[in-house]
Structures are given as structure tokens and as C-alpha cells.
Amino acid sequence: MAEPETLLHVEELHRSFDVSLPALERLLKGKKRATLKAVDGISFTMRRGETFALVGESGCGKSTVARLVVGLYRPSAGRVVFAGQELARLRSRKAAAPVRRRLQMIFQDPYASLNPRWRVKRIIAEPLRTHRLVASEAALRERVAELLLQVRLSPADGEKFPHEFSGGQRQRISIARALASNPEFLVCDEPTSALDVSVQAQILNLMKDLQRELGLTYLFISHNLAVIYQMSDRVGVMYLGRLVEIASAEQLFASPRHPYTRLLLDTIPSIEATAREREPVAGEVPNPIHPPSGCSFHPRCPFANDRCRRERPELINAGRTLVACHAVEEDRLPRARRYTVYETSIPQPQ
Amino acid sequence: MLEPLLRVENLRVELPTRRGVLTAIDDISLAIAPGEVLGVVGESGAGKSLTGAAIIGLLEPPLRIAAGRITLAGRRIDKLPDEAMRRIRGREIGAIFQDPLTSLNPLYTIGRQLVETIRTHLDLSPAAARDRALALLAEVGIAGAETRINHYPHQFSGGMRQRVVIALAIAANPRLIIADEPTTALDVSIQAQIIAMLRRLCRDHGTAVMLVTHDMGVIAETAHRVAVMYAGRIVEIGEVAEIVAHPRHPYTRGLMDSIPRIGGRRQRLRQIDGAMPRLGAIPPGCPFSPRCPEVADRCRRQRPDLLPAIGTEAACWLYDKMLLPEKETLDG
């Protein structure tokens, strides 16, 4: 492969939700319509075989992006182009099915995402039947067994029901279901957030192994920066529906540029720093229905000035990082604390 | 070490079921001194929340304390009648739970809830109680307490609600706070604020804190000592710095290794294969033996008690008859 191939392209993606009161109540209380801009103009590109992570606090819109990418939501504006095809333009189910097959999702809660009344073999077989990927019942059984082995479960587990499994095992079942249709691209929305750390390690290792074996591309959503450091090649940091910084994982952790990225890195409880005295940053994520003017981070930003309160920053090139910050552009930020980071040692798919 | 404020000795909690009696907490002992934060860490189902619930007398029936004793400042509290225990909760022991929404009454303003709690436990006039409520809100970092005191829980964000819950927990100046996953539902930047506040309370008021969480990072930054629980037992207990740097029990080592970290080489995470046994299926001997990389025959037969293990105490036969220099043995 000469040039890394672009597999996913997201362009000026917007998605708003109507959060107005019911019409009559609105009239009586004299309130206006209210919209929540969950995703407010996001663009990024993903190469085949890479892991791109989105990180941010709750309500920043990262899960909405995940759902837009797999087509669970339609964009209010902007485009999601997967392997050269724009998903939202494929009007009929029939036209969309071949693209859908190549693009699957793993959800956060393995307790809610598996049908409790179905046996595991039926859960995993569902995508195979939907997309008519197997010719006979015998082939179906064989493929289900193969998928169970692939996620390090045993074929006999297919006869059981989801409640007979632990959280980690259920997440393996979700992964097997996602892999059933031979996808190239997996959207993983907080895949390990509901799991205990020792189980999380098992699932993250499994995901890395599968990526290497099958050449998968991951869009990885998480609020846990340590998990993101371990898993991803490139990282996008989101705040109130916008990307504020995009960089390679090494670059982002070695020299974070955006003040919000720095805040996130500074606030992670660290195992090495026992009883570290730290100055927590005051303030919280503002209400996204009434986002602040200008840069939406300015009320919490120690470096905000008049321009930040007025003018919304766009992503600009700053060295090897894309960052949306006036202070970076004007070069008035102090140096950040750095993590010692080695150049990539994540095994790349061949 | 100061005389412990809370002492739990050989506590056993049982769960009677149709198929027999299950042991949810099996013979655990711990102590917390005034001004000390004891972290209790473990995976879901390890029994860490049950330990907290047993101490404040909020075990849900049919769970019951089957053996052992719990003393608070020398007074035995595990056998108190409900009414006496209710007076101790709030006055002597404050509780903070994971979900601030379920700890607050949605129908009352937070001011009313605070004043009611304060007047239940302290002999104050309504006006004095209100003043104290305002002071508490300021202490937990809620700006504009004068207005906020008249607001309902739904008018607060998650982080602010947890501050209100903490204000309620410390309203009567309790000597012990049991905090069960107090930051788990919160974003990291808010989490840092809450942790800093807990530490300050502990330092300024000499409050003892039992911090129950699955997040080793939170423990490392907040606690002085930590107890690691596995399958209803304490498998290791000691100073935080020691356990983080030199975990001795094979389970603690596996747990520490499986935590993803920032910085350094990115490689496969070390994982402990298998899962913690369910309550009904805890193996004889050491409960960790089926997953333990250093398992020996004896581990499958005989249950290890906590043994001195170079700077910590670990329930592991590896440390049996280990000859330790005098100065390295720890007191409880």
C-alpha cells in the first residue's frame, strides 16, 4: 500500500436536537423554541487500519458523533462519507445495506445491548441472517462457532443466555456480533466504561488483537484518557459539540496545546502521584443549550481575553497539531506539563 | 498511630438464600484513625459497598451481620436497636453515595433538607440552623449560597448536587464519613474538585473517611491507607504509597498492572485471566487461587489470613514464615 487509504471522511457535521417545551406550554409561558447543538461543525478523516479516538466530558457530543457515523442519526448538516459513499444519500434500506454491513458498532452497556430472551448463538447470527451472508444452516452454525472462538469464548457458549455471562464476557458477545458481518470499521462507544479494570484490560487487549488479525479501523469513543493513550493512533478532543484539538496520541500527550486538553490531562487521578496536592480547575461544562459566546471554553479558561469572548476560534495548524484556540495562534500560552511518551509502539495492521 | 475511631473486627455478612447461606463478607478486620482516609478498593461484587453498608447499619435484608463486632470510638454499634442507630447516622457517621440524585429529596429545596438534618442532630434554632446551612454550602464550594439554598435538587448540575450531598453528610460534624463511589458518576474535572474537598474536610476537621471506590487513581490521590478486597475478603491492606509501588498480593499486582496509564511505552496491558468467582462458587482455600500465577497446592486447600508482607499485610501463603527484620513489620 503506497498511500494510506482514507476510509472515513466527516465534513462539517452538525446535529441539533429540538429540546423545546410542548407547543402549548411554550405559548403559555412565552418561551421560544430551544435547540441543543450536540454536534456543531466537526470535520475529521480516518485512514484504513488506524484508531482515531474522540475524548471529552459527558455532554460534549462524542456519542452523537458515533451515532451519526454509523447512521443511527441523520446529520442536520454536513456529510459522513464512508469508503467513498455518503450514507445519508442512500435512501432505501436496500441501497444502504452493503455499506452498513461494513460499518458496525459496539455499545457501552453490555447489559442493555443484548436481547435477554435470545440465546447467544441467535444474537450473533442475526447480522448473518439480515445480510444473507451464509448459504445454509450448517454454515451459519460454523460461522457462529468461529466468531465465538475469535472473541475467546467457546462454541458451547452459544447455547446460553446473556444473563449467564459476566460483564466482560457480554462485551465479548457484543464484539462477536459486530464482527459477524465482516466489517472493516468499528465504532466503539465507551466499550469498557462499564467494566472493572482487570476485565477492561482483557477487552482492550482483545480489541487490539482483533485489529491486527482483521485489519480493522476503530473510531474509539472514551472519556478515559489513559485508555485512549493505550489504544489510539490519533486523538480528537471535543468540548461542547466542537473539536478543539486533533493530534497524534504521542503529540497530544507529550505536548497538549489547547487549555481544555491541558485541564483534562491535569485532572486525571494519577496512581503514581499519591497524595498529590493539585489545584483543581474551577467551573463545569456550561449548559449546551445556551453555549457561551466566542470560544465556548472561555468562561473556564485562565488565558481568555476579549477576542476569546467574541470570536469563535477555528481549527488551525500549529506544528503537528490542529488546535482551535486564539491563545495558541497568538502564542501566549505557557508551556504545559509533559508526559514522557514514546513514538508509536502500537502494532500496525499489515 | 492514634487510637482508631472505627474498628471492625472479624466481620462476617451472610445472605440466606433458598439454596443455602452465602457468605458475602468473610472475616474482615480494619481500623480507621481520626483524620485518616482509608480507601477500600475492589471490583464489583468484591463486597466493598457491603462493608460500608454494614458499618452504617444499612444492610438490606436478608443480608445480615453473622459474626464480628464494629466499634465507633469504643462503643459497639453493630447490635444497636434501629432508633439508636438512626441517631448515630448523620450525627456520628455521615454517608455519601454514588448517585447524588437518589440521596436528595426532589420535592424539597436543599435548604429545607439541610435545615432539617441540622436540627435533627444539633440543638439549634431555625435561624441558627439556616446560618449553618449557608456556611456548609459555602464550605463545599457552592457559590451564591444565599440564592442556591432555595433551589431544588433538579436545578443543580451533577457535580453541584454531589457537593450538596457532602454538605448534608457533614451537617452535624460527624466523626466518620463513609463515601461510597462519591466521584464515579462525575466527569474527571469535577471529580478532582470533589476529591480535593474531601481531603480538606478530613484535614481541617479531623474527620475519618472510608472511601469505597473501584478507581485506584482516586484512592492513590486521596487515601492514606488502602484495603484491597476480593471475593468478600481483604486480601491486602497497607499504606497507599507502599501498595501502589510494591503490591505484594498477586491479585493486587495483577490489578495494578491492568490499569492503563499515560506515559511510557504503549504495549499490551497485563491482564488477569478469568473473573472473580460468584458468591455461591468461591473456591476453598484462597479465593484467588484459580487465577493466581503463583498458585501452590496449599493455596487450594487452606485459606491464608493476612500475613506481614514486606511493608503491607497480604493474605497470601507466599509470605508465610517469611523472616522479616523487626522494623519492617507493620502494626495494624
HEC string of chain A? CCCCCEEEEEEEEEEEEECCCCHHHHHHHCCCCCEEEEEEEEEEEEECCCEEEEECCCCCCHHHHHHHHHCCCCCCEEEEEECCEEHHHCCCHHHHHHHHHCEEEECCCCCCCCCCCCCHHHHHHHHHHHCCCCCCHHHHHHHHHHHHHHCCCCHHHHHCCHHHCCHHHHHHHHHHHHHCCCCCEEEEECCCCCCCHHHHHHHHHHHHHHHHHHCCEEEEEECCHHHHHHHCCEEEEEECCEEEEEEEHHHHHHCCCCHHHHHHHHHCCCCCCCCCCCCCCCCCCCCCCCCCCCCCCHHHCCCCCHHHHHCCCCCEEECCEEECCHHHHCCCCCCCCCCCECCCCCCCCC
| Cell numbers for B326 | 523487626
Number of Cβ pairs < 8 A linking chain A and chain B: 144
Strand B176-180, strand B93-96: pairing: parallel
Task: Answer yes or no: are the C-beta atoms of A239 and A260 closer than 8 Å.
Answer: yes
What local confidence, expressed as pLDDT, does residue A257 receive?
92
Contact A269 B270 (CB under 8 A): no
Q: Which amino acid is at B115?
A: V
Query: What residues in B contact A282, CB-CB < 8 Å?
Result: 193
* Ramachandran angles phi, psi of A84, nearest 5°: 85, -5
Task: Answer yes or no: are the C-beta atoms of B95 and B177 closer than 8 Å.
Answer: yes
What does the pLDDT average to over A256-269? 87
* Chain B: residue whose CA lies nearest to A286: B157
Best A193, A235, A274, A346 residue to mutate vs chain B (most B CBs within 10 Å): A274
What local confidence, expressed as pLDDT, does residue A23 receive?
82
What does the pLDDT average to over A4-21? 88
What does the pLDDT average to over A78-84? 91
* Chain A: residue whose CA lies nearest to B142: A283
Give the SS3 label for residue B62: coil
Query: What residues in A contact B268, CB-CB < 8 Å?
Result: 205, 208
Distance from CA of B129 to the nearest CA of A (A): 28
Distance from CA of B158 to the nearest CA of A (A): 10
Query: What residues in B contact A200, CB-CB < 8 Å?
Result: 258, 260
What local confidence, expressed as pLDDT, does residue A337 receive?
63
Residue A57's pLDDT band (boundaries 50, 70, 90)? confident
Interatomic CA distance for residues A83 and A9, integer angstroms = 8
What local confidence, expressed as pLDDT, does residue A100 receive?
86
> Would you put residue A30 in left (φ > 0), alpha (ψ -120 to 50) or beta?
left
Q: How many CA atoms lie within 13 A of B314 on its CB side?
A: 22
Task: Answer yes or no: are the C-beta atoms of B210 and B169 closer than 8 Å.
Answer: no
Contact B275 A166 (CB under 8 A): yes
Residue A343's pLDDT band (boundaries 50, 70, 90)? very low
What local confidence, expressed as pLDDT, does residue A282 receive?
64
Cα angle at B33 between B52 and B314, to 5 degrees? 70
Interatomic CA distance for residues B255 and B229, integer angstroms = 11
Q: Which of B192, B218, B265 sits opposite A280 (nearest CB)?
A: B192
In this predicted structure, the answer to whether residue A301 has a pLDDT above a threshold of 80 is yes
The pTM score is 0.83
Q: Which domains does chain A carry?
A: 45-72+88-102+183-269+283-350 (3.40.50.300), 107-182 (no CATH)
Best B98, B252, B266 residue to mutate vs chain A (most A CBs within 10 Å): B266
* Chain B: residue whose CA lies nearest to A262: B189
What local confidence, expressed as pLDDT, does residue B326 receive?
42
Contact B196 A278 (CB under 8 A): yes
Q: Which of B159, B188, B271 sits opposite A205 (nearest CB)?
A: B271
What local confidence, expressed as pLDDT, does residue B232 receive?
93
What does the pLDDT average to over A230-251? 94
Q: Which of B240, B266, B271 sits opposite A229 (nearest CB)?
A: B266
* % of chain A residues with pLDDT over 90: 53
Query: What residues in A contact B271, CB-CB < 8 Å?
Result: 198, 201-202, 205
Distance from CA of B219 to the nearest CA of A (A): 8
Interatomic CA distance for residues B147 and B143, integer angstroms = 9
| Cell numbers for B324 | 522479616
Contact A284 B159 (CB under 8 A): yes
| Cell numbers for B258 | 491492568
The domain made up of B6-223 is a member of CATH 3.20.20.150: no
Query: What residues in A contact B272, CB-CB < 8 Å?
Result: 198, 201
Residue A232's pLDDT band (boundaries 50, 70, 90)? very high
Closest CA relative to residue B187, chosen from A280, A208, A65 = A280
Query: What residues in B contact A225, CB-CB < 8 Å?
Result: 188, 262
Contact A268 B188 (CB under 8 A): yes
What local confidence, expressed as pLDDT, does residue A307 receive?
93
Instruction: State how far Cα B168 lies from the chain centre.
Output: 18
| Among A57-61, A245-249, A260-264, the least confident range | A57-61
Closest CA relative to residue A275, chosen from B173, B218, B222, B33 = B222
What does the pLDDT average to over A217-242? 93
* % of chain B residues with pLDDT over 90: 53
Instruction: State how far Cα B160 lies from the chain centre.
Output: 22
* Ramachandran angles phi, psi of A238, nearest 5°: -110, 145
Query: What residues in B contact A223, CB-CB < 8 Å?
Result: 187-188
What local confidence, expressed as pLDDT, does residue B320 receive?
83
Q: Which of A199, A253, A284 sits opposite B275 (nearest CB)?
A: A199
Q: Which of A201, A274, A345 sits opposite B244 (nearest CB)?
A: A274
Q: Which residues pair with B331 in a beta bridge?
A: none
Q: Which of A166, A229, A281 sits opposite B262 (nearest CB)?
A: A229
Contact B275 A224 (CB under 8 A): no
Which ranges of B170-284 would DSSP assign to H, the alpha helix? 188-205, 216-222, 240-245, 250-257
> Would you put residue B14 in left (φ > 0), alpha (ψ -120 to 50) or beta?
beta
Contact B275 A274 (CB under 8 A): no
* Chain B: residue whose CA lies nearest to A194: B44
Residue A346's pLDDT band (boundaries 50, 70, 90)? very low
Any idea which residue has 455499506 for its cell? A99
What local confidence, expressed as pLDDT, does residue B192 receive?
79
Residue A339 vs residues A133, A254, A257, A270, B265: alpha-carbon distances, Å? 47, 5, 13, 12, 11
What residue spans define the domains of chain B?
6-223, 233-261+270-328
User: Which has more pLDDT, B108 or A292?
Assistant: B108
Any idea which residue has 488483537 for its cell? A209
Q: Which residues pair with A42 in a beta bridge?
A: A13
Residue A74 vs residues A14, A62, A93, B247: alpha-carbon distances, Å? 9, 15, 14, 50
Closest CA relative to residue B168, chosen from B147, B193, B142 = B142
- Sign for the pseudo-dihedral over CA of A316, A317, A322, A328: negative
Best B194, B209, B221 residue to mutate vs chain A (most A CBs within 10 Å): B221
Contact B260 A278 (CB under 8 A): no
Query: What residues in B contact A199, CB-CB < 8 Å?
Result: 43, 275
- Please give chain B's pLDDT, 332 residues, in tens: 568 999 999 999 999 988 889 999 999 999 999 999 999 999 888 999 999 999 999 898 899 999 999 999 999 999 899 899 988 998 899 998 877 778 899 999 999 999 999 999 999 999 999 999 999 998 888 888 888 999 999 888 877 888 899 899 989 889 999 999 888 777 777 787 788 888 888 888 889 999 999 888 889 888 999 999 999 999 999 999 999 999 999 999 999 988 888 877 777 888 888 888 888 888 999 999 999 999 999 999 999 999 888 889 999 999 886 544 444 444 43
In this predicted structure, the answer to whether residue A303 has a pLDDT above a threshold of 70 is yes
Give this complex's ipTM.
Answer: 0.78
In this predicted structure, the answer to whether residue A20 has a pLDDT above a threshold of 50 is yes
Q: A82 burial class (0-12, 13-18, 19+ CB within 10 angstroms)?
A: buried
Strand order across the beta sheet in which A77-82 lies: A35-47, A6-18, A77-82, A85-86
In this predicted structure, the answer to whether residue A238 has a pLDDT above a threshold of 60 is yes
Contact A345 B221 (CB under 8 A): no
- Sequence-distant (6+) residues with CB within 8 A of A319 are none
Interatomic CA distance for residues A69 and A219, integer angstroms = 9
Distance from CA of A135 to the nearest CA of B (A): 36
Q: Which of A168, A271, A280 sits opposite B193 (nearest CB)?
A: A280
Residue B93 vs residues B51, B96, B167: alpha-carbon distances, Å? 14, 10, 13
| Cell numbers for A270 | 494519577
Contact B266 A342 (CB under 8 A): yes
What does the pLDDT average to over A321-326? 93
Interatomic CA distance for residues A75 and A64, integer angstroms = 10
Q: What is the mean pLDDT of chain A?
A: 86
Closest CA relative to residue B161, chosen from B101, B102, B112 = B101
Query: Please, what is the angle between helix A167-179 and helix A137-150, to 10°?
Result: 130
In this predicted structure, the answer to whether residue A254 has a pLDDT above a threshold of 50 is yes
What local confidence, expressed as pLDDT, does residue A245 receive?
96
Interatomic CA distance for residues A62 and A341, integer angstroms = 25
